[in-house]
């Protein structure tokens, strides 16, 4: 697809293989710059704040959160859904690359997958803490126990969710790690210090790049990619079922699964754009993450934004068309107008309207504009989950149980703490692991040469 | 037992592929090739195949049955619960669990199989590192269990040179240690 004279080369700058290796391994071999230490300092501070909040939650109990009898799902579930949505991008990129063979994904894939892993880890933290007694979290695993053995409820979407996230996390980790082995071997062979050689050597599994290695490796990549492809769709679908299977107005709709899925891809790609712009800037990897790459992400964002906008309109239409007065109330008297109107319109503007600016090529060329839009999208996606969860719970069937909701310092602390986990994780990743899949990019650099040759002929 | 073998180093994959083609035409045995990225022509020419995808399909099929069987055993045989008189075996609700368990078990089994078949595991010492094969060199190792005779060796040598090998090393390889 990319071997045409029309599309720009995927790896710019006519590099030979050695130079590709040197450019990409560079950031993981040099001492980090000062911004890295500063960023790490802030990330650690966020992490410590989060640890305090988690400690308070476990030590004192869920009373430290802003939840009450009507609003049983607050910031915890909002942030859970938000993080897991962001976590979708990495695997989506792997699927683009392995299943659809969209070669442009190869230079972004590794970082996107790292992002997925830390985001899903963050997401998994919230339901576990929400249990209140986190030390009993293992009760959800179906194992022969002394309580009957009373099995878990296999008909419950909450259990499906547990299994979906566990599977997703393990599969993403495997896909990420196995995808890294040839590059870790490169790092091992380039290492000068004994410690580095030993550590990279340990993790590179004795990789030598022989035919025997490669042929099975490629087969494995295809199998793992093929297995991960349905998971990308299913994880957020199952999260949506947590809501859709209930009888709360505003949740009990059939549009929720596809709507959540597109939202997940949308927010994930927005986060990838944010991070790729930062990494590209910090390490000047402009030859590998070219303008064409960012442009491609933006196109996916436009598509996502339109589907999301359509979903918002459909929901509102169905609320009226269904004739259910409770649905009508939630959408028209609580969201479009009413108590949560500001959150609702922030959501619409951030997700459905502002991303339409990306139609303009001028904006797709401006790093600043793209960066701002990508952050706005993730803000909007957070508000979307806020609107769905809080507005439905705060004002449901019985006006006598209507309440307001506001988060406490502990709620906010855990949320900031997850940013700490995410940022420290990503910073360590860019410090020690080649950010871009070197072996993938090398085969692209080769194709690039052939492409220019044929174009010239 | 020590054996002589020839190591040829190439700077790009096209030269490597043409060298392999010519060597195969002249029936010279190639032990292995080491490349920084998968070169599909090399994989095809050396005729190595993997049965990993078949194993994965079989594992998947077994896992679907195992997962459904487990759910049936739990819900119907071991601890049937009465949900307002509804049937104990609720197949539509079991689809999700079956699907997830199938993916989970299949990928775990396949990635383990990959490690078993390639003999790779964390902490393994690489058997032989070909210098530059993880960077920018494409390396061909000739020679197999039978020692190459003089005629073959000189022919291989000329083919390799002709195809643009930047370096040709003759060395002894300890075959016992594997």
Q: What is the pLDDT of residue B144?
A: 53
User: Mean pLDDT score of chain A, rounded to an integer?
Assistant: 86
- Of all residues in chain A, the percent with pLDDT exceeding 90 is 36
Report pLDDT digits (tens) over A115-143. 999 999 999 999 999 988 888 888 888 88
- The answer to whether A76 touches A130, Cβ cutoff 8 Å, is yes
CA nearest to B12, candidates B32, B41, B35: B35
Helices A409-432 & A256-283 angle (0-180, nearest 10): 50
Looking at chain A, which residue has its C-alpha nearest residue B73?
A151
Q: What is the pLDDT of residue A455?
A: 38
Residue A354 has pLDDT above 80, yes or no: yes
Report pLDDT digits (tens) over A160-200. 999 999 999 999 999 899 888 888 888 888 888 888 888 88
**How close A353 gets to chain B, by Cα (Å)?**
35
Q: How many CB atoms lie within 10 A of CB B84?
A: 4
pLDDT confidence band for A54 (50 / 70 / 90): very high
Rounded to 5°, angle at Cα A254 from A248 and A257? 100
**A97 — contact with chain B (CB < 8 Å)?**
no
Give the 3-state secondary structure of residue A1: coil
Q: What does the domain layout of chain B look like in residue ranges?
A: 2-36+132-174, 52-118
Contact check, Cβ <8 Å, A16/B34: no
Looking at chain B, which residue has its C-alpha nearest residue A200?
B123
Distance CA A262, CA A306 (A): 10
Residues of chain B contacting A163 with CB distance shorter than 8 Å: 97, 100-101, 104
Contact check, Cβ <8 Å, B36/A439: yes
Sheet with B30-34, strands from edge to edge, namely B30-34, B138-142, B2-10, B167-174
Give the least confident one: A226-240, A274-288, A309-323. Answer: A274-288
Contact check, Cβ <8 Å, B135/A202: no
Instruction: Report residue A182 as tokens.
Output: 């040839």
Contact check, Cβ <8 Å, B103/A230: yes
- The answer to whether A277 touches A371, Cβ cutoff 8 Å, is yes
Q: What is the pLDDT of residue B150?
A: 67
Residue A315 has pLDDT above 80, yes or no: yes
Contact check, Cβ <8 Å, A209/B35: yes
Region A364-382: what's the mean pLDDT? Answer: 91
Q: Which of A157, A168, A210 to mutate to test the interface with B (most CBs of B within 10 A)?
A: A210
Q: Which residues contact residue B34 at a Cβ distance below 8 angstroms, ignoring those fewer than 6 apart? A: A208, A209, A210, A211, B130, B133, B137, B138, B139, B140, B141
Phi, psi of B85 (to 5 degrees): 80, 5
Instruction: Report residue A162 as tokens.
Output: 């547990």
For B2-36+132-174, the fitting CATH number among 3.40.462.20, 1.10.760.10, 3.30.70.120, 2.60.120.620 is 3.30.70.120
Q: Residues A138-164, buried b or exposed e (16+ Cβ, 10 A)?
A: eebebeeeeeeeebbebbebebbbbbb
- The answer to whether A186 touches A438, Cβ cutoff 8 Å, is yes
**A198 — contact with chain B (CB < 8 Å)?**
no
pLDDT confidence band for B173 (50 / 70 / 90): low
Preceding peptide of A149 cis, ω within 30°:
yes
Q: Between residues B102 and B158, which one has the greater pLDDT?
A: B102
Distance CA A94, CA A101 (A): 9
Region A269-289: what's the mean pLDDT? Answer: 86
CA nearest to A156, candidates A146, A164, A167: A164
**A17 — contact with chain B (CB < 8 Å)?**
yes
Contact check, Cβ <8 Å, A214/B117: no
pLDDT confidence band for A90 (50 / 70 / 90): confident
pLDDT confidence band for A344 (50 / 70 / 90): very high
Which of B34, B71, B108 is nearest residue A209 as measured by Cβ atoms? Answer: B34
Report pLDDT digits (tens) over B64-107. 999 999 999 988 888 888 878 888 888 888 899 999 999 999 99
Contact check, Cβ <8 Å, B32/A212: yes
pLDDT confidence band for B175 (50 / 70 / 90): low
Q: How far does CA A49 lie from the centroid of its chain?
A: 22
CA nearest to B96, candidates A141, A152, A163: A163
Q: How many CB atoms lie within 10 A of CB B59?
A: 21
Distance CA A184, CA A206 (A): 10
Residues of chain B contacting A205 with CB distance shorter than 8 Å: 115, 120-124
The pTM is what? 0.89
Q: What does the domain layout of chain A look like in residue ranges?
A: 17-152+247-456
Q: Which residues contact residue B113 at a Cβ distance below 8 angstroms, ignoring those fewer than 6 apart? A: B52, B55, B56, B59
Give the 3-state secondary structure of residue A151: coil
- The answer to whether A269 touches A298, Cβ cutoff 8 Å, is no
**A178 — contact with chain B (CB < 8 Å)?**
yes
Give the 3-state secondary structure of residue A441: helix
Direct distance between the N- and C-terminal alpha carbons of chain B, in angstroms, rounded to an integer: 12
CA nearest to A431, candidates A279, A268, A221, A255: A279
């Amino acid at each position: 697809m990319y071997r045409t004279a029309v599309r720009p080369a995927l790896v710019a700058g006519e590099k030979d293989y050695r130079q590709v290796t040197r450019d990409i391994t560079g950031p993981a071999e040099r001492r980090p710059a000062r911004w890295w230490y500063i960023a790490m300092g802030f990330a650690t501070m966020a992490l410590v704040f989060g640890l305090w909040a988690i400690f308070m939650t476990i030590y004192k109990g869920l009373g430290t959160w802003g939840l009450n009898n009507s609003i049983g799902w607050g910031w915890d579930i909002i942030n859970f859904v938000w993080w897991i949505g962001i976590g979708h991008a990495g695997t989506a990129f792997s699927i683009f690359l392995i299943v659809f063979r969209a070669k442009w994904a190869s230079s972004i894939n590794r970082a996107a997958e790292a992002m997925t892993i830390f985001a899903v880890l963050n997401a998994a933290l919230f339901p576990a803490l929400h249990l209140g007694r986190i030390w009993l979290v293992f009760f959800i695993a179906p194992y022969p126990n002394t309580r009957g053995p009373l099995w878990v409820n296999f008909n419950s979407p909450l259990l499906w969710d547990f299994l979906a996230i566990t599977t997703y996390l393990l599969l993403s980790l495997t896909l990420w790690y196995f995808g890294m082995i040839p590059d870790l071997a490169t790092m091992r062979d380039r290492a000068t210090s004994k410690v580095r050689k030993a550590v990279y050597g340990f993790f590179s599994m004795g990789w030598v790049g022989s035919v025997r290695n490669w042929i099975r490796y490629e087969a494995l990549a295809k199998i793992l990619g093929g297995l991960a492809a349905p998971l990308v769709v299913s994880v957020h679908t199952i999260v949506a079922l947590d809501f859709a299977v209930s009888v709360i107005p505003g949740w009990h709709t059939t549009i929720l699964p596809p709507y959540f899925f597109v939202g997940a891809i949308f927010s994930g790609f927005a986060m990838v754009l944010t991070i790729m712009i930062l990494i590209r800037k910090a390490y000047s990897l402009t030859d590998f993450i070219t303008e064409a790459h960012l442009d491609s992400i933006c196109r996916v964002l436009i598509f996502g934004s339109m589907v999301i906008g359509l979903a918002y309109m459909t929901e509102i239409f169905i609320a009226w068309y269904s004739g259910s007065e409770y649905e009508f109330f939630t959408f028209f008297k609580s969201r479009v107008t009413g108590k949560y109107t500001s959150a609702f319109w922030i959501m619409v503007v951030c997700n459905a309207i502002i991303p339409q600016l990306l139609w303009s090529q001028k904006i797709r060329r401006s790093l600043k504009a793209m960066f701002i839009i990508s952050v706005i999208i993730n803000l909007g996606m957070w508000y979307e989950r806020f609107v769905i969860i809080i507005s439905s719970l705060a004002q449901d069937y019985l006006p006598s149980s209507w309440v307001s909701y506001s988060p406490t310092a502990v709620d906010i602390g855990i949320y900031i703490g997850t940013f700490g986990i995410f940022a420290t994780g990503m910073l360590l990743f860019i410090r020690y692991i080649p950010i871009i899949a070197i072996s993938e990019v090398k085969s692209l650099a080769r194709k690039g040469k052939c492409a220019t040759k044929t174009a010239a002929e | 037992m020590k054996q002589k073998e020839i190591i040829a180093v190439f700077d790009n994959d096209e030269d490597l592929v043409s060298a392999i083609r010519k060597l195969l035409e002249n029936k010279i045995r190639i032990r292995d090739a080491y490349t920084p990225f998968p070169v599909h022509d090399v994989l095809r020419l050396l005729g190595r195949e993997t049965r990993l995808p078949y194993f994965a399909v079989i594992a998947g099929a077994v896992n679907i049955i195992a997962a459904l069987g487990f759910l049936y055993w739990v819900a119907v045989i071991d601890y049937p619960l009465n949900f307002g008189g509804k049937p104990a075996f609720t197949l539509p609700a079991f689809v999700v669990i079956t699907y997830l368990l199938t993916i989970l078990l299949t990928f775990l089994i396949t990635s383990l199989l990959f490690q078993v078949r390639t003999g790779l595991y964390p902490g393994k010492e690489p058997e032989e590192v070909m210098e530059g094969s993880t960077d920018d060199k494409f390396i061909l190792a000739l020679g197999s269990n039978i020692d190459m005779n003089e005629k073959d060796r000189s022919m291989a040598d000329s083919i390799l040179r002709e195809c643009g090998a930047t370096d040709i090393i003759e060395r002894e390889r300890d075959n016992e240690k594997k």
